[in-house]
Amino acid sequence: MEYAFFLGSNPGLSAVEVHDYFKRTKIVADFDLSRLPKYLIVKTNENLKCQAIIDGLGGTPMIAQIIGELSELSAEAILEIAGLDNRFSENQKPIFSISFETFTTSLSDSKSPRDIRTLGIQIKKLLNKKGCRVIVPQTGTVLSTAQLFNSGVPFKAIGIHIVELEKARYSAMIVSAVQDIDFYTRRDRERPEADPGKGMLPVKLAQIFINFTKAEIGSKIYDPFCGAGTIVAEAMLQGFNVVATDISLRQVERTKINTDWLKNTFPNLIDPRKNVLVMAQDIEKPLREIENNSLDAVASEGWLGPATNHELSAFEIENVFVRTQQLLYALLNNINNVLKSGATVVVALPAFRVDKRIVRAPFMQEELRKFLPKGYSVENLVPEGWVNPAFRDAGQGMMLYGRPDAVILRDIVRLRKN
């Protein structure tokens, strides 16, 4: 079986996330990078539970099963390869959607929105089913995740996705899962303690952090800078036991309010047997109340400096980096006893955009390995042997996350306790 994992706005990070998700959930798969940055091909011997998988991934808006290749884009060819006639179940209202995109930029615009609309209508005619509905993109040739989701793909409608690989060579796919946009919006905006627009950690990035830990289902994850608890909430949804601390009593309170809201609002999605412990703790002081040798992983955004919308001066940046380094080293020293051996520590540290250049912490790049407290090593995020331009920011094992207009970016690093 071959699946295409379509990757979000940061394809390098998202591809690594898929890899780590498979490792942590122990699903055996091979990966083919040849279609990056658009999609990652995942080859498996089993039918994947795509909806459950996509719910656990922050960086994959759509998963489609690759069903074969076509040399011409005709309604007959699509109908045949997709076995469309037999795919509608008895009680399913026949609805299908069709989207088309080109893989390489040199082929872009090789089909117009009108071509795709015509194709949809021709398939509908061939299907010869009364009341069959076809959904085509209103603009362009690709249906957005929101359009697919709102059309009921994949449960109530069948999504056909065609990718032009090169001239007269098309990959035909059936959409297996799309990200549940409503659920993301609710987690992001409806939680009682949210501060929209204030550089808050996006829910999808919180999921990526958790997957980067490669922690197995049911293990215990720690966020030592929990703030309003975005990572805590996502870890709970993924079935982890969670410990969360923050120096600020107000932030501890916010995490408690948000996690209570999550449990009460989505009781069916949270396993009541799992523990969530939230308390105040200055990470520069010895840890109290966390049992030795009890944590499987740390996933944390860390301190990113003062919240700001404007570019910082070189002096200000230098100060933030010095403080970040102190906090990182204090964290690693103080959690050493509570981490199990082999535990992973995934943290984000700040990077800054200055004059369209990105300034990353110097200690992250050159000195991190040299000055790490004893017992830790840096573990590259990009898997061994993965070479692709999508990973060009990933120097020294770290990966950058930042919106194109963001002044503060996040530099993600993974360490391992030896």
Ligand X SMILES: C[S@@+](CC[C@H](N)C(=O)[O-])C[C@H]1O[C@@H](n2cnc3c(N)ncnc32)[C@H](O)[C@@H]1O
**Helix or strand or coil: residue 380?**
coil
Other CB atoms within 10 A of residue 83 CB: 10
Residue 227 interacting with ligand X (CB under 6 A): yes
Closest contact distance (angstroms) between CB of 211 and ligand X is: 16
Residue 251 in the binding site for ligand X (CB under 6 A): yes
Q: Which of 80, 180, 188, 282 binds ligand X (CB under 6 A)?
A: 282
- Residue in the block written with tokens 């959930």: 25
Q: Is 301 in the site for ligand X (CB under 6 A)?
A: yes
Distance CA 210, CA 59 (A): 12
Q: What is the four-CA torsion angle of 52, 150, 61, 26, rounded to 10 degrees?
A: 10
Q: What would the x/- binding string for ligand X be over residues 162 to 201, using CB under 6 A?
A: ---------------------------------------x
Task: Decide whether 176 or 300 has the Cβ nearer to ligand X.
Answer: 300
CA distance 282 to 30: 42
Q: Does residue 325 belong to the site contacting ligand X (CB under 6 A)?
A: no
221, 283, 299, 381: residue in contact with ligand X (rule CB under 6 A) = 283
13 binds ligand X (CB under 6 A): no
Q: Is 236 in the site for ligand X (CB under 6 A)?
A: no
* 225 near ligand X, judged by CB under 6 A: yes
Kindly tell me which residue out of 39, 100, 303, 401 binds ligand X, with binding defined by CB under 6 A.
303
Beta-carbon contacts of 260 under 8 Å, excluding residues fewer than 6 positions away, are none
Q: Near ligand X by CB under 6 A, which window of 157-165, 276-284, 373-381, 408-416? A: 276-284
**Which of 206, 208, 172, 182 lies closest to 81, judged by CA?**
172
The residue from 138, 248, 265, 308 that contacts ligand X (CB under 6 A) is: 248
Number of residues that bind ligand X (CB under 6 A): 18
Segment lying near ligand X (by CB under 6 A), choices 5-13, 15-23, 146-154, 222-230: 222-230
Among 228, 236, 278, 343, binds ligand X (CB under 6 A): 228
CA distance 213 to 106: 38
Which strands, in side-by-side order, build the sheet including 169-178? 30-32, 39-43, 2-6, 62-70, 169-178, 158-166, 95-102, 133-135
Residue nearest to ligand X (CB): 227
Position 296 contacts ligand X (CB under 6 A):
no
Minimum CB distance to ligand X smaller for 335 or for 399: 335
Q: CB 192 → ligand X: shortest distance, Å?
A: 13
Interface residue with ligand X among 304, 346, 361, 408 (CB under 6 A) is: 304
Rg (CA), the chain: 23
Alpha carbon distance 369, 270 (integer Å)? 38
Distances (CA, A) of 50 to 31, 154, 184: 16, 10, 17
CB nearer to ligand X: pick between 190 and 366:
190
Look up residue 223 and give its two tokens: 């966020």
CB nearer ligand X, residue 17 or residue 301: 301
Residues 6+ apart with CB under 8 A from 356: none
The footprint of ligand X (CB under 6 A) covers 201, 225, 227-231, 246-248, 251, 282-284, 301, 303-304, 327
